[in-house]
Amino acid sequence: MAISTGQSARDDFRDIEQSPYGKPGEVISDTAAPTGTLTVTDESVLDSGEHQMTLNMGPQHPSTHGVMRVVLKLDGEVITDCDPVIGYLHRGTEKLGEAHRYAQITPWTDRTDYVAAPLNNLGYILAVEKLCGVEAPERAQYWRVIMAELARIASHLVWLGTHALDIGALSMSLYCFREREMILDIFESFCGARLTTNMMEIGGFSRPIPDGLVEQIRNFIRLFPGRQQEYSDLLTANPIWMARTKGVGIISPEAAISYSLTGACLRGSGINYDVRKAEPYLVYDRLDFEVPLGEHGDTFDRYLVRMEEMRQALRLVEQALDHVEAMDTPMMAYESPYVIPPHKGTMTTAEDMQRHFIWTIKGFNPPVGEVWQTIEQSKGELGYYIVSDGGPMPYRFRIRTPDFVNLQVLPHMAQGALLADVVALIGTIDIVLGSVDR
Amino acid sequence: MSDGNARETHNLNQEGTVGTGPADTSAGGSPATNEDARSTDARQVEALAPELDLADWSREAYFADDLERHPAVVLLNATLPDAILDIIRFRNETTIHVRPELYREVCRTLRDDPRVAMNFLTDLTAVDMLRLRTSPRFDVVAQLYSLPNRVRLRVKAGIDDGQAVPSLVPLWNGANWMEREAYDMFGIIFDGHPNLRRMLLSDDWDEGHPLRKDYPLRGWKEFPVYNTERTVPRLRTRWTGRGV
């Protein structure tokens, strides 16, 4: 069975039909059928659909990126129906958010999408700042861009490593996690945590930028393009990779809009919608970057889009770092009553300590109203909807996670696909079950 | 789309239809009724087109201080005159409260009109307004977005407990899981939803709908005690603040 460039896996399936092992439905030997050959010869059984098999994939299947169950109905190796079952990781983050004060919710947002925690923090913090009318200083906004784009690269690296691992390129996961480690080291230098960072604060950053962090990021900027070229060399023109991804899981632009897809799933279908361009937040309107778009809407295009997004994210990091390196302005909007008072003096003067203590214990009371804030997360559009009744805790705290919405296109893509492609389809949506289930 | 292979033929869609922009005429889970409603709307829009052309469709109108100048409001006042109950602007975001029975028609009008073109359903959720007002109890909230105009609009419909609200699945397939989640968390019935069952909680969950405001934070069932032979008494702290 030869795999040539650009040939789809479906053509390979046809090759099997002409293989010496016999056609599906054909009994070769009287004694034993070769493994993997359908041996049903009774036409009535084939017509009645009784040969269809229900296969339960998950919830502990490694290729489902967490705990997700997919109930598949199979006709031979072709999927006729697909029903994703989620909720195994549901922790009630929205209910918890309604029982915590505004500043206490940030760590919960880490736990939704735990491979891109700074981005989740950012969306939530921007929503609260919008509700309260706080604007972070310019320098803090640049640092937010740097951390958000690094988190985007880290998230895409996890996606690339696991997606390629699912399809069969084992070494990709090792390379990708090696580079992700560098980003996690940067996070660790910046805020002390690696995965659930709890990095962003309402009003900016209260902690100083540690020494050596800029050099660390510069080192990463210097190293990463070459490393990414290695991934590209390994995958982009790889015949096996192309056979497994080209033409697999095609989403038309109309279907992408109808299914409310965002992120690379939408842009892979050629629709130009990036929140950073459409509704610029932070300082994205002052930075120069491009939004990559796909043409065919298949898995390969989404791969190309995400690879280009990593390059653009690195451009953004570099530009923002150039801006911010020489800046010596404040990092925190301390003049606002909604921002935590300065840590300075809390250990020496009683007044500072009291003010800090009261703010921490009582929180703050934002205006009555409701806001909806979206950001471009690594997986799509991440939205926070906060309804405030004027109390210290949100009255309604809603997280619109991108992969929860994106995942419902899986049955649409899986109709008529082959069983082996399901892992490719799950990987191409780029889900994290903590974010899907919340 | 034309990659020239067999995968292209698999665009089957059994949950609804692929709702698209104004050019789409095949919207609707039950084709006959939706087709009629769609064409009625289109006819209405066409009939009113000369008059509406006098209105301001520019981007500034979406953010004007005069809320009646908002293009969506202008359009709805012309096509569905009694649909809008209230218009609210907060932090430069516009919210329109509409009658629940006209909820789907409002969204369909906003989606299909080529000038407003709210063709993207970003989010659909609900809010339990138990502590904020007496009636109606729930708000069903849809966050619409216009890809051509780059503006957002929030459409709300207030319903009471047990009252059904029209499902948006005939308009957007993406509403499917969001409405299932709203049903799961709030117990809101979406009329016309093809598959209204629990989304995140298990199918046999018998404790009600957790995001309602009268649902305790720790659930209705007793909290399990694991260490029954404990000698030091357990300190019960009230860490939930408001109690719920």
Element (H, E) at A145: helix A138-167
Distance to chain B for A329, nearest Cα, Å: 27
Instruction: State percent of chain B over pLDDT 90.
Output: 35
User: Could you tell me if A409 and A251 are in contact, meaning their C-beta atoms sit under 8 angstroms apart?
Assistant: yes
Query: What residues does each domain of chain A span?
Result: 1-51, 93-437
Q: Is the pLDDT of residue A186 over 90?
A: yes
Provide the residue type at B234 as one letter.
R
Of A8, A298, A370, the CB nearest to B6: A8
Provide the residue type at B154 as one letter.
R
User: Could you tell me if A168 and A9 are in contact, meaning their C-beta atoms sit under 8 angstroms apart?
Assistant: no
Number of A–B residue contacts, CB under 8 Å: 168
Average pLDDT of chain B to the nearest whole number: 76
Average pLDDT of chain A to the nearest whole number: 85
Task: Give the whole-angstrom CA distance, residue A235 versus residue A168.
Answer: 11
Q: pLDDT tier at B66 (50, 70, 90 boundaries)?
A: confident
This model of the complex carries an ipTM of 0.81
| Residue-wise pLDDT tens digits, A258-308 | 999 999 999 999 899 999 999 999 899 999 999 999 888 889 999 999 999
What distances in angstroms separate CA B83 from CA B79, B89, B98, B127, B191, one per listed residue? 9, 18, 5, 20, 18
H-type alpha helices, A289-401: 299-325, 350-362
Nearest CA in chain B to A84: B199
Q: Is the pLDDT of residue A1 over 80?
A: no
Best B2, B3, B96, B147 residue to mutate vs chain A (most A CBs within 10 Å): B3
B176 interfaces chain A, CB cutoff of 8 Å:
yes
* CATH code reported for the domain at B19-191: 3.30.460.80
**Other residues' Cβ atoms within 10 Å of the Cβ of residue A62:** 11
The structure tokens 């029954």 sit at B228
User: Could you tell me if A224 and A314 are in contact, meaning their C-beta atoms sit under 8 angstroms apart?
Assistant: yes
* B50 vs A114 pLDDT, higher one: A114
Q: pLDDT tier at B172 (50, 70, 90 boundaries)?
A: very high
Query: Are the Cβ atoms of A95 and B211 closer than 8 angstroms?
Result: yes
What is the average pLDDT across B55-81? 84
Instruction: Tell me how far the alpha carbon of residue A438 is from its chain's centroid.
Output: 13
Edge-to-edge strand ranges of the sheet holding A78-85 = A53-57, A69-75, A78-85
Task: Give the whole-angstrom CA distance, residue B96 versus residue B146.
Answer: 15
Which among A429, A349, A420 has a CA at the least distance from the CA of A167?
Answer: A420
Element (H, E) at A395: none
Which among B114, B174, B171, B124 has a CA at the least distance from the CA of B144?
Answer: B124
Instruction: Tell me how far the alpha carbon of residue B36 is from its chain's centroid.
Output: 22
Sort out which chain A residues have CB atoms less than 8 A from B217's CB and list them.
Answer: 95-96, 99
Q: pLDDT tier at B226 (50, 70, 90 boundaries)?
A: low
pTM: 0.80
H-type alpha helices, A192-326: 213-235, 239-245, 253-258, 264-267, 275-278, 299-325
* CATH code reported for the domain at A93-437: 1.10.645.10
